[in-house]
Structure formats: structure tokens, C-alpha cells
Amino acid sequence: MPTQNRVVMLVDLDYFFAQCEELRNPTIKDKPVVVGMYSGRTEDSGAVSTSNYIARKYGVKSGIPLFLAKKRLEGVDAVFLPVDYDYYQQISDKIMQILRGYADVFEQVGIDEAYLDVTQKVHGNFEETPDLVQQMKTAVKNQVGTTFSVGVGPNKLIAKIASDKNKPDGITVVRPKDVEAFLSPLPVDRLLGVGRKTSAKMEELCIKTIGDLAAYDVQRLVELFGKTIGVYFHNAANGIDNDPVQEAGEAESISRIATLKENTRDLAVILQKTDQLTDEIHKELTQKNLSYKQVSIIAIMTDLTSRSRSQTLEQPAKDAETIRKYVRELFEKYLGESELEIRRVGVKVAQLSKEEKQQRQLTSFFTS
């Protein structure tokens, strides 16, 4: 399928953490709902993770300090709740499972967003997308009870920007012929990679809108921002993005297997080897900025049969120590169950995911 004829969607779950709280307790639905990340230093220190749309009318939104949110909602019957990440993750998993069924290719990005390549599902025809989106919305509403907003476009970049246009419970379809008209009036900082610093620099060059940037001499952009970024800005402003929708995360794993110096049932000998394997795996995880949620061991016996044992964690982890701990536990248990000597050992981590959006954005909020 040529990349220029794709139909790509971005699904963004509405006011997600707060909507999950409304799902759990529908009586709060008509009040401002604020989900906060309490830092614990004092009662109200911390920041707002998200809020429902009623709270947003009072100027209470992601990132603002909790004391300010309290002030803005003074005298209002509002509900403040702490982040319950595990619960949101469960709801997210259910929704993503449903959405996956509507895509040719599905790529989850963080807890509340997913890209769907639906080119074949809609026969390459943008006119068929509203129907498909309606089916998706109905299925999620019936099976989980939540709403989401959708952007549809010829690539990820357009889909993502479009998804922001009609919220909550909205849909925005940008057909290829409408891309230029859609993008050009938007402020330039709507493009990924144009932060405060860059947009200030662009403003000096009289680049205020995406249209201004699209019309700007690409050679000059390269001189100013370097080749990679200059060309990226030029393409993005012109609505060009060839990044494919790619399955990621859950399916992937990282593993290493090695042969022991001698066949053995000695835990210390085995762990010495698996520690090395763990270090290699941890290095790769760090390089790719991935966390894992499952640890497995593999044992290949002297008769060349192989066995594996897994442990799923309650929380995703990033460190090497946790892998070592579970590898030890799993081998201890496994050696108690089997009589044969082991010839080769392996370690595997799975259910991989990128750093969560929540942490990233809160971190950048606190450090900015």
C-alpha cells in the first residue's frame, strides 16, 4: 500500500483519568472532577493530572498545581481524587482490546492513545470512516462505558492534530485534499517538536502559523535548525509524514540465551550466567527507553527439551535488580520441580512499553 494513500486514525480517550473515576462512581458526573498527583509533602502539594470538562470551565486542567485548582474551585461542590493508575490501566486495556479489532494495524501510544491504520477496513475511502468510528464508539460505550475522540487523516501527523479539534466524544476527518486548509491557520507550536523555545525563534522569523512555516524556504530552515530538524519542520508543515502505524509494546520481548560452562543444577552457577544475560537485556531496555511487565526464564535441559517459567509484575519496572530477583525466584522454584541437569539458560522480559506519557509530562511540568 503506497504511504500516500493511507487512512490513519488517532483515538484519544476523553479526560481519561477523570472519566475512569466517573465510571467507577457515576454520582460525581455532574460535578467538577479533579484527579491529582499528590506529592505528599503537604496536603495540597502536587499537580493536576487531569480534570473533567466541567472542571476545565473553571480553568482547572492538567499540570496546574493542586492548590491553585482548589482555589479556582473554592465554594464549588467539586471532587478531588488521587491517581489510581492500576485502575485506569485496566480500563485502558479493555478499550484498547476492543479498538484493536477495528484496525488493520494497531499501535498503542501510552495509556490513552492509539493509532489505527484502517486503510483496508474502509477500502481507502475517507467517506467510510465516520461509519467505522461510530461502530467503534458504540462498542466501547456499550462494553466499557467511556467516550473518546478521533482524528482521521492520511498520516499520523494529521490524525493526531485532528483528534484535538472536537473534544470530547468528537470526530474530525481531514481528507487529503483538505490537509493544507486544515493545517495552515494553526499555530506553529501544534507541530510535534515545536516547543516554547523553537516557536519563539520562529516568531522572530515571522513564522506564526503552520502555513507560514510551510511557505518558508527549506534551505533556510536547514541552515537554522540543522538538516534533520529543518527538513522535518518543512515536511510536517506541509502535512507530509511517512511514519507507518506499527504494532508495538505488548507483543515484543527482549531475550538472551547462553550455554553454561558445564551442565548443572547448581543455582549459583546458573545465576552467575543469568546475571550477565540480565545486564545485556537491561542495557537494551535502557537504550530503547522501555519498561517491562513480565520476566521469564528459559531452561534447556541436557536432553535438549526446553522449559520456561514466567512471572508478571504488578507494576511495570525498568531496573535490572527486579529482573534478577524474579529470575532467581523462578529458577529456585523450577529446580525444585525438575530432576534434569540444565545445559543452556535464558532470560526474557516482555510486555514492554515506552515511558508513560503521564510521567513524562509531569516531569517536564515540574522541571520547566
Q: Out of 23, 38, 63, 139, name the contact with ligand TTP by CB under 6 A.
A: 63
CA 116 vs CA 106, 140, 250: distances in Å: 5, 15, 16
Min dist CB 360 to ligand TTP, Å, is 9
Residue 17, CA distances (Å) to 91, 160, 168, 238, 360 in order: 10, 20, 14, 34, 16
- How many angstroms separate the CA atoms of 23 and 81, rounded? 13
Contact call for residues 154 and 8 (beta carbons, < 8 A): yes
How many residues of this chain interact with ligand TTP, rule: CB under 6 A?
A: 18
Element (H, E) at 49: strand 46-51
Q: Is 52 in the site for ligand TTP (CB under 6 A)?
A: no
**Minimum CB–partner distance for residue 32 and ligand TTP (Å):** 14
Which of 15, 106, 182, 225 lies at the binding interface for ligand TTP (CB under 6 A)? 15
Q: How far is the CB of 60 from Mg ion (least distance, A)?
A: 16
Closest separation in Å from C-beta 33 to ligand TTP: 11
Query: Contact with ligand TTP (CB under 6 A): which of 65, 130, 145, 168?
Result: 168
Closer by beta carbon to Mg ion, 87 or else 334: 87
Site for Mg ion, rule CB under 5 A: 12-13, 16, 112
Beta-bridge partners for 7: none
Chain centroid, CA 366 distance in Å? 20
133 binds ligand TTP (CB under 6 A): no
62 is a site residue for ligand TTP (CB under 6 A): yes
CB 101 within 8 A of CB 117: no
At residue 350, the 3 state secondary structure works out as strand
Is residue 113 annotated as a catalytic residue, yes or no? yes
Q: What amino acid is encoded at 175 in this protein?
A: R
Binding segment toward ligand TTP, per CB under 6 A, in 3-11, 12-20, 119-127, 341-349: 12-20
CA dist., res. 19 & res. 352, Å (int): 26
One of 21, 22, 107, 113 is an active-site residue; which one? 113
Interaction between residue 297 and ligand TTP (CB under 6 A): no
Nearer to ligand TTP, 62 or 255 (CB): 62
If one asks whether residue 102 binds ligand TTP (CB under 6 A), the answer comes out as no
Separation between Cα atoms, residue 34 and residue 253, nearest integer Å? 36
**Which burial class, exposed, middle or buried, applies to 294 when counting CB atoms under 10 A from its CB (0-12, 13-18, 19+)?**
middle
Number of residue whose CB is nearest Mg ion: 12
What phi and psi, each to the nearest 5 degrees, are found at residue 309? -135, 140
Residues forming the site for ligand TTP (CB under 6 A): 12-17, 49-50, 62-63, 112, 167-168, 357-358, 361-362, 365
Show which residues are catalytic. 113
